[in-house]
Copies of this chain bind each other. A is one copy, B any other.
Amino acid sequence: MSFLVTILGSGAAVPTAKRNPTSQYVQCSSRSILIDCGEGTQMQFRKFGMKYQKVDLILISHLHGDHYFGLVGLLSTMHMMGRTRAIEIYGPKGLKDIVDIQLHAAGSRLSFDVHIHEVEPETSGILFEDNKIKVEYFPLAHKIPTNGFIILQKEKERKLNIEKAEADGVKIRYYHLLKKSEDVVDAEGRLLRFEDYTFKAGNELRYAYCSDTKYHEPIIEFIEGVDVLYHEATFVDAHQDRAKGTKHSTARQAATIASEAKVGRLLMGHLSARYDDGEVHQQEAREIFQYSHFVEDGEVIRIDK
């Protein structure tokens, strides 16, 4: 089961020829999740050969336009291309009114249901969970209420505690269910709890997304130990005053968060339009955290250990 992140936009507020505003497409097990949806995201889907109709969930971090101005256009195109399957959208308070006023003005009734779930500022919790993935949110620290997200791919199969299973006379035919985290009632009416007969396999994967935010240590407890962290790095050291003034981060600050949170790898994005590339960001980040990398539009990252 794959876990891939495609960078649809790696730029900041002002788009450039090379960097679209923020958007990431996450394929995790059989779920497809869009995180943020800056202007032009539907064109980026097309450009990189991805299928926007597969999106199940959309997560909007905050209501600065470079993170959501492509949303209503994407929904409209999904409609015109015949979508019937409902879509779930999670975002800050105010998002629903913004979507509704534009759909209403167009006089259009979409061919599919749009469920917009608004979260309270400064809270954290679970947005979505099924037997394969879990999506969590937590507060970042920006100019307006902003959330980070964690997408967790659950363990595919647990390891069987073969000794205990044999000792208790569990029939072999129940093994695969127990390994898939299912409790079983056997032929004798006995309840076999999967947690009693299996161990964690240790192949759960977590991807954390933090954009936009100033340097904010309370993030660390939420993202501790994730396999891959995306953290905005709008500026380099030379513009750290600008970072402070706009409540954004420098590459060094992103790397510090990554290091403190003991993550596997750091991806950086949200590059200010003043920079031609992320070379200096990468250099400054690696002085703090070696596994730092600046992403590009169209790049595909495999989430693994």
Would you give the 0/1 interface string for A93-134, flagging 1 where the beta carbon is closer than 8 Å to chain B? 011011001100111100000000000000000000000000
Residue among A21, A47, A105 facing the most chain B CB atoms (10 A cut-off) = A105
A201 interface residue, CB < 8 Å from B?
no
Q: Are A14 and B80 in contact (CB under 8 A)?
A: yes
Which residue on chain B has the smallest CB distance to residue A21? B73
- A80, B14: Cα distance in complex, Å: 7
- A72, B98: Cα distance in complex, Å: 12
Residues of B within 8 A of A269 (CB): none
Residues of B within 8 A of A107 (CB): 143-144
Residues of B within 8 A of A73 (CB): 21, 39, 65-66, 69
Which residue on chain B has the smallest CB distance to residue A95? B105
Residue among A47, A70, A95 facing the most chain B CB atoms (10 A cut-off) = A70
Q: Are B43 and A106 in contact (CB under 8 A)?
A: no
- A15, B77: Cα distance in complex, Å: 8
- A272, B143: Cα distance in complex, Å: 41
Residues of B within 8 A of A94 (CB): 101, 105
Residues of B within 8 A of A95 (CB): 105
Residues of B within 8 A of A15 (CB): 42-43, 46, 77
A191 interface residue, CB < 8 Å from B?
no
Distance (whole angstroms) from the CB of A189 to the closest CB of chain B: 57
- A175, B273: Cα distance in complex, Å: 52
Kindly identify which residue among B13, B101, B144 contacts A76, using a CB–CB cutoff of 8 Å. B13
Residues of B within 8 A of A87 (CB): none
A172 interface residue, CB < 8 Å from B?
no
Residues of B within 8 A of A43 (CB): 15, 17, 20, 39-40
- A15, B42: Cα distance in complex, Å: 8
A16 interface residue, CB < 8 Å from B?
yes
Q: Are B17 and A47 in contact (CB under 8 A)?
A: yes
Cross-chain pairs A/B with CB under 8 angstroms, 27 sampled: A13-B77, A14-B80, A15-B42, A17-B43, A17-B46, A17-B47, A39-B39, A39-B43, A39-B70, A40-B43, A63-B105, A63-B106, A64-B108, A65-B72, A65-B76, A65-B102, A66-B73, A66-B76, A69-B72, A69-B102, A94-B105, A95-B105, A97-B101, A98-B101, A98-B102, A106-B144, A107-B144
Given contacts A15-B43, A17-B47, A107-B143, 17 further A-B contacts (CB under 8 A): A13-B77, A14-B77, A17-B43, A39-B69, A39-B73, A40-B43, A64-B106, A66-B73, A69-B69, A69-B72, A69-B102, A94-B101, A98-B102, A98-B105, A105-B144, A106-B144, A107-B144
